[in-house]
Each structure stands twice: as C-alpha cells, then as structure tokens.
Amino acid sequence: MDISRVIKPWKLHPQRTLVFVNATIVDPVQGELIQNATVRISDGKITQITTDGPASTEDVPEEDVIDVSGKYLCPGLIDCHVHIAVVPGEADLRAYKDMTERISLLRQPRVLKSMLDRGFTSIRDCGGASLAIKEAVEDGVIPGPRLFIAGYALSQTGGHGDMRGSHNAQLCCGGSLSGISRIVDGPAECYKFAREELRQGADFIKIMGGGGVASPTDRIEHVQFSDEEIKAIVTVAQNAGTYVTSHSYTPQAIQQAIKLGVRGIEHGNLVDLETVQMMAEKDVFLTPTLIAHVMSKQMNFLPADGAAKNDEVLEKGLKAMKMAVDAGVTVCFGSDLLGPMHFAQSKEFSVRSSILTPLQILRSATVNAARLVMQEDCLGQVKEGFVADLLVLGKNPLEDITILDAVEEHVLGVIKDGRVATSRWDQLKVDPRP
C-alpha cells in the first residue's frame, strides 16, 4: 500500500515523459518561430530541445511521442490580475455584499478550472484568494493554474476597498475585512496588516493607492494612502523579499506610489506621458485590465455611479496602454473580471489587438508576466530547464494574437507542470486524475 495516497488520495500521478516532434516553438523573447524542433518534457520540466535533426524517442512509449506538425508550441499564459473570490452566481456587483466566504470558496474551483482550460497556467490574484485554495491547486486537490496571491488587498477607510455606502454608519476597526480588502489606517496598522497578509501566505502586497470604479464613496481622482502609510507597507514587503503593487488610475496616485518604492501599477488608465516615462525609468510594471471595463458596460454590472466612472476609464484605457508600451514600460496581461464576467478572460487579447502588435501582447502574457511574479527563470518561455507549461495551438499567435480568444477552435492542448490538463485534439491524451 502507498501510504502517501491514503493520506492524500488526491495526490497526482508522476508526470509522463512526453516528446513533441516536428514542433514549431513560439519564442516571445525574440519574436521568432523555432522550426523543426523536438521538445522533451519529464518530471514537470522541459529537459531537452533539439533543432538539429530528430532526437531519439526509443525510450518513450509510442503514445507519448506526439507529432505536432503544423501546430505551434507556445508558453503557458499568465494573467496578472484576477479575483477568483468574486465568483459567478449574481447578475451585478450590488448582490455580492451578501455572498459569504464559504459560498465563494465552494465555487472557486470552477473558476480556476475554466481559466486553466483557456490556457492560463499561472494567475496572479490581486485580492481575495486564500492560501487554502492556492495549496489545494498545488497539492492536486483541484485542477487550476498555479496561484500567486496578495491575500486581502489593503485599503484606507473610504478608499477603493471599503464597500460601505455613505449611509452606512457602522465603523470599521483596524484590519476589518470588506469584500476582498482589509481596511487599515495609519502607519501602525499598515505595518501590522501587511505583515499579517505575508504571515497568511501572501506572495506580494496589493494596496488601493487611488480611487476606483466599483467602490461607492471615492472618486477616481482621489489619492488615498499617505506617504507614511505606503512607506510602511513597502518596507514590510521589501524586508520579506517581495513587492507592493498599487491599484491606481491617475498620474498623481501612480507617481506617489512609485516614488515610495511600489513595483507594480494596476489599471493606469489615466496616465500621462510624464508618468509613463517615470515608470519606464524606475522599471515599474503596468497591468492594464481593459476587458473588465468593456464587460462591466456590456453586462450592466455596476450601479449608476460606478457605471459613470467606468465609462471615463474605458475611453482612455487603450490610449494609456499604447503610451506606456511606446515609452518602454513593461506591460503585463490582466483581466480583473468579477462575478459572471470571468468567461471573457481571453477577450483581453482581442481588445489589445486594436493598438498593439501580436508580439507585444504575447510578451505581456508570458515573459513580462513571468518577470512581474518573479519567476522569469522558470516560467514564460519554452526553454530547457523551464517548467513544462505549454500550449498546443492550431495557428501562429505571432501573426494573429486573437486566436487566443478563440479557445475552443485554436487552443488544442494545455499542459501544466508537464501534465496534459486539457485537450481538444485527439492526438493529445489528458493525464488522468486520481
């Protein structure tokens, strides 16, 4: 008897050795295709890539040698801004005030599996995901992308993370939870609860550095935390070897954050030229999330005050992202979809395609994103020694990035950690789960 499988009956089977022959590798670093490659994966890693003729496959069962002639091997995708805790089940944002953490947690596996099926082998959750769900994926209890989590985002009273309306007189104590955020005020609380998030498994810290669309009592142009508060949070993160990212739309909020050592900016729809130049100079990452604004408008997801703010940032978001890319800012892929909108995750590729090149967009979801999550030495490329996170695509994404928005037609296979998680192609066998 394998006692480890009695203790953890969900323990995944060891990875097969798979060999992909006649492969065309998509290289997002050079923006090139590597033709006629043989790619061997074993123990969850890419162990060998050869391009100087066929490699030996005598040691591999015939069914595990996969001829991908006419197909493309692409790195697994990374979405750098999700909220898996805001699950489907309600039609608009107002209804979510009554959703409990237990209800959310029971629905999160469905959200995670659908993301993996779309080709997202890693995700960065910017508020709400717990260590428990991250470990459930790591242990094999449920299928899903690997998670990099912020725990609860940190917000000031009346800031973007404070979901109380103006007529709600209930006071929040230090560290009180409000949706996917904690309410903290003053440097002392910022020190304490940044440390608390790290203690509870956060990989990085997310702050609400400026006003937001979905919050009821702040305006987009508001600058929120004080310099002293942000300094406290940045100090905690840096002491722990990690970083802070900030929800910020305006030049004022963004400049305040990056001057104080914040490493990432979420959204950034209202940036100006001076701000993106400062971001480029300081190597600050930008993660736009345009599809969230598109879908919020289409699905009437926000209350009237939020809808008006959404229209403002949606109109300027594409221009802001193009300005940032042209200035040399490292731009990452993000979706930020809530509730019933998670299905539209891949549509961010099509939204961006109106102003950016396919290579720029692919980099945002692979090598740029890998740098942001501090995994550039193992994620984001099809490269020897890297984690075997691969997509088998029916068409070349460097010619048309919108194929990644046509998942059922063009994402033929999703391989995570060397295991075939999803297959829409009869030549690729899905690895069975215990």
Q: What are the distances in angstroms from CA 221 to CA 227, 239, 250, 255, 320?
A: 17, 31, 6, 13, 16
Residue 55 sits in the same domain as residue 180: no
CA dihedral (223, 317, 337, 332) positive or negative: negative
Point out the domain boundary residue: 372, 388, 406: 372
Residue 167 in this model has a pLDDT that exceeds 70:
no
pLDDT in tens, 221-236: 778 899 999 999 999 9
Q: Are 54 and 92 in contact (CB under 8 A)?
A: no
* Residue 432, domain member (yes or no): no
* Residue 429, domain member (yes or no): no
Residue 33 sits in the same domain as residue 176: no
Q: For 260, what's the count of Cα atoms within 13 Å in the CB-facing half-sphere?
A: 25
Residue 83 in this model has a pLDDT that exceeds 80:
yes
Single pTM value for the model: 0.94
Residue 409 sits in the same domain as residue 366: no
In eight-state DSSP terms, residue 149 is E
Return the top range by mean pLDDT from 11-15, 85-89, 177-181, 367-371. Answer: 367-371
Domain count for the chain: 2
* Residue 431, domain member (yes or no): no
The predicted structure's pLDDT at residue 163: 63
* Residue 194, domain member (yes or no): yes
Q: What is the CATH number of the domain that holds 48?
A: 2.30.40.10
166 vs 87, higher pLDDT: 87
312 vs 356, higher pLDDT: 356
Residue 297 sits in the same domain as residue 327: yes
Minimum mean pLDDT range among 97-106, 237-246, 388-397: 97-106
Residue 368 sits in the same domain as residue 411: no
Q: Are 344 and 295 in contact (CB under 8 A)?
A: yes
pLDDT in tens, 287-297: 999 999 999 88
The predicted structure's pLDDT at residue 310: 77
The predicted structure's pLDDT at residue 177: 74
- State the chain's mean pLDDT as an integer: 92
Q: What is the mean pLDDT of residues 166-176?
A: 67
* Residue 172, domain member (yes or no): yes
Q: Are 219 and 316 in contact (CB under 8 A)?
A: no
The predicted structure's pLDDT at residue 307: 75
Q: What are the distances in angstroms from CA 75 to CA 220, 221, 286?
A: 36, 38, 21
Q: What are the distances in angstroms from CA 32 to CA 22, 24, 28, 88, 363?
A: 16, 10, 7, 38, 12
The predicted structure's pLDDT at residue 284: 98
Residue 187 sits in the same domain as residue 99: yes
Minimum mean pLDDT range among 64-68, 153-157, 194-198, 203-207: 153-157
Return the top range by mean pLDDT from 79-93, 95-109, 172-186, 271-285. Answer: 271-285
Residue 218 sits in the same domain as residue 267: yes
- Position 308 confidence tier, pLDDT thresholds 50, 70, 90: confident
Residue 361 in this model has a pLDDT that exceeds 70:
yes
Residue 206 sits in the same domain as residue 254: yes
Residue 48 sits in the same domain as residue 165: no
Q: Are 250 and 267 in contact (CB under 8 A)?
A: no
* Residue 360, domain member (yes or no): yes
Using DSSP's 3-state secondary structure scheme, residue 399 falls into coil
Residue 119 sits in the same domain as residue 106: yes
Q: Are 282 and 259 in contact (CB under 8 A)?
A: no
The predicted structure's pLDDT at residue 214: 64
Q: What is the mean pLDDT of residues 266-292?
A: 97
Tell me the residue range of the domain where 56 lies. 3-75+378-423
197 vs 305, higher pLDDT: 197
How many other C-beta atoms are found inside a 10 Å radius of the C-beta of residue 273?
A: 12
Strand extents, DSSP E, 29-107: 32-42, 45-50, 65-67, 72-75, 77-82
The CA distance from 231 to 241, in Å, is 15
The predicted structure's pLDDT at residue 394: 98
Residue 46 sits in the same domain as residue 99: no
Q: Are 243 and 282 in contact (CB under 8 A)?
A: no
Vertex 64: Cα angle to 61 and 69 (nearest 5): 130
Q: What is the CATH number of the domain that holds 242?
A: 3.20.20.140
Instruction: Indicate the residue type of 247.
Output: H
* Lookup: tokens for 336: 């930020």
* Residue 428, domain member (yes or no): no
Report the share of the chain in percent with pLDDT over 90: 79
Residue 169 in this model has a pLDDT that exceeds 60:
no
The predicted structure's pLDDT at residue 304: 73
- Position 309 confidence tier, pLDDT thresholds 50, 70, 90: confident
Residue 114 in this model has a pLDDT that exceeds 90:
yes
- Position 168 confidence tier, pLDDT thresholds 50, 70, 90: low
Residue 266 sits in the same domain as residue 392: no
pLDDT in tens, 378-387: 999 999 999 9
